[in-house]
Amino acid sequence: MAPALSVVAVWRAVEFLLRLNYQRFEGALSERYACLEAAASVIEIRTVALRSLDGSYAKTSSEVSPRAPERTRLLQVRIFEHAARSMQQRLRTGDRARDTLGVVLLVHGLSPSGNRDARMEAVARALASLGFTAVIPDFVEFRECRMGQQTLDEIAWAVVAVAKAFHQESISLFAACVAAGYTLCAVLGSGEHIRQRVRTIMCIGPYAEVEAMVWCAMSSDSADDYGRNAIFYNFLQYSSLISEIEHAGNAANGHGWMSQLLHALRLALEDSHFLRGSTEAAMLPKYFKELRDRVPHSFDTANDASEDASSTRTSHVQRVFERFQLDKEFRELHTKAMLSHPAVQKLIASCQPIRVVSREPIDFPILLLHGECDNIVPCRESRRLFCAMMHNKLCTVKPLIEITSLLNHGDRQRLNWFTDTPQIIRLIRLFAQFFTWAAQPRISVPQSHSSSAKNRTESRLLQPRIIRSR
């Protein structure tokens, strides 16, 4: 039977939201950096070595990664535990430690901060304050704002490695945006040996199809430039139309113009992520100035009439960058060219959540939470995932969904516990379901198409489904 929604789970959900809202976390939390080492192949993982790392190593972990021995894989993780439930604390003090309520693996998104992203850290601290063990791996591709096949493999590997490292039969997952879509693909598309390690997945603002997410970012006037720049940073080099611009760019700036444009896109992502875009700390304007000073003959000829206009002169790289930001038709032409490239099509085929949730067995709850005004991934993407799972005959545990105005794109908004009460109650209900499943061992639901099995399965379906019309 599916676990009943208990008062304890509801209280945990309330406490979790309160702690996130007011950024008040338990003072007695154990935080440490560690490294997981195990067989490179998921199927071959038997034992996992968990080695704690000192603080100096943690400070350089974003730039330097240890080299894994042959046929093994290393993964850096950040661990948050309540001191009363920390095995590390027990070894240090000799005090008896209570068992963890469960392990939650948090998958960070396309974030230059990696597993030090402030939003993921806040979630991890809130979970640890409740008594869970929160683990945030450092996924290198995502930290470098790249979308690739490697991260799919790393997420699947991390599920098994983290479960074994913390002596758990199964763990829960928490992911947002691109990471949520990747998590669904990695877990559901990697076979039964991965699925059986998962209790539940909480997806915040997931995408359903890569193409839909890309076109929304490129065509919508209200789309956030972070998502747009991330897409260009990953796929612009595959545009067949870029050769025309590159010819002019190489003539003005010399060879290597494309790498300069990609570097500008990366700096734009970092400026946006670290909230320094309109401050003196912004790196992109400094880079454009450096290019302008380095290659004076690449100035816009329209600005060369007067030396007094030197401050408004722009390099070819800057002009192209700004055109991608401001010219919608120009963006759409390159988007069409990017998406038609075989290399992009191959990547897209491997990370389409809508495909795996439509046809793969699902015997654990998948919870979807999406901001009604999400300006990077529209909330209709979560609705598409929900509908696909509801029509999947191999989905034996109903998904839950909540569309709320209390989120935008994963960034929290300060809750008003009086005016927002109806929506907060729905959030509490959703997270209570998550904590119900996350705090107990996995329940396997057998797959069968017989009528008797169908009747037994229906008794296991999670209730209620939470659907809010936009």
Q: Which pTM value belongs to this model?
A: 0.86
pLDDT higher than threshold 70 for residue 466: no
CA distances to 179, 268, 274, 422 from 10, in Å: 27, 41, 34, 15
What would the DSSP string read from start to end of 66-117?
PPPPTTEEEEEEEEEEEGGG-HHHHHHH----PPPS-EEEEE--S-TTGGG-
Average pLDDT, the chain: 84
Query: What pLDDT band is residue 455 in, cutting at 50, 70 and 90?
Result: very low
Q: Are 329 and 378 members of one domain?
A: no
Q: Are 197 and 249 members of one domain?
A: no
pLDDT higher than threshold 90 for residue 358: yes
Q: Are 174 and 299 members of one domain?
A: no
Domain presence at residue 469: no
Query: How does pLDDT run across 186-235, given as a tens digit for each residue?
Result: 999 999 999 999 999 999 999 999 999 999 999 887 778 899 999 999 99
Query: What pLDDT band is residue 418 in, cutting at 50, 70 and 90?
Result: confident
Of 315, 347, 379, which residue sits at a domain end? 347
How many whole angstroms separate alpha carbon 286 and alpha carbon 203?
37
Q: Are 121 and 265 members of one domain?
A: no
Q: Are 145 and 173 members of one domain?
A: yes
pLDDT higher than threshold 70 for residue 373: yes
Strand partners, 412: 407
Q: Are 259 and 139 members of one domain?
A: no
Q: If you average pLDDT over residues 365-390, what whole number do you get?
A: 94
Domain that includes residue 199, residue range: 7-209+352-458
How many whole angstroms separate alpha carbon 259 and alpha carbon 261?
5
What pLDDT, on a 0 to 100 scale, did the predictor assign at position 24?
85
Q: Are 93 and 197 members of one domain?
A: yes
Query: What pLDDT band is residue 389 in, cutting at 50, 70 and 90?
Result: very high
Q: Are 44 and 191 members of one domain?
A: yes
Q: Are 138 and 186 members of one domain?
A: yes
Domain presence at residue 463: no
Query: What pLDDT band is residue 128 in, cutting at 50, 70 and 90?
Result: very high
Q: Are 366 and 342 members of one domain?
A: no
Q: Are 421 and 333 members of one domain?
A: no
Query: How does pLDDT run across 231-284, given as a tens digit for each residue?
Result: 999 999 999 888 767 655 555 555 578 899 999 999 999 999 887 767 778 899
Of 332, 347, 362, which residue sits at a domain end? 347
Query: What pLDDT band is residue 179 in, cutting at 50, 70 and 90?
Result: very high
Domain presence at residue 339: yes
Of 289, 313, 347, which residue sits at a domain end? 347
Total domains present in the chain: 2
How many whole angstroms separate alpha carbon 263 and alpha carbon 280?
19
CATH of the domain at 371: 3.40.50.1820
CA 169 from chain centre, in angstroms, equals 24
Give the CA-trace dihedral at 285, 288, 293, 295, to 10 degrees.
180
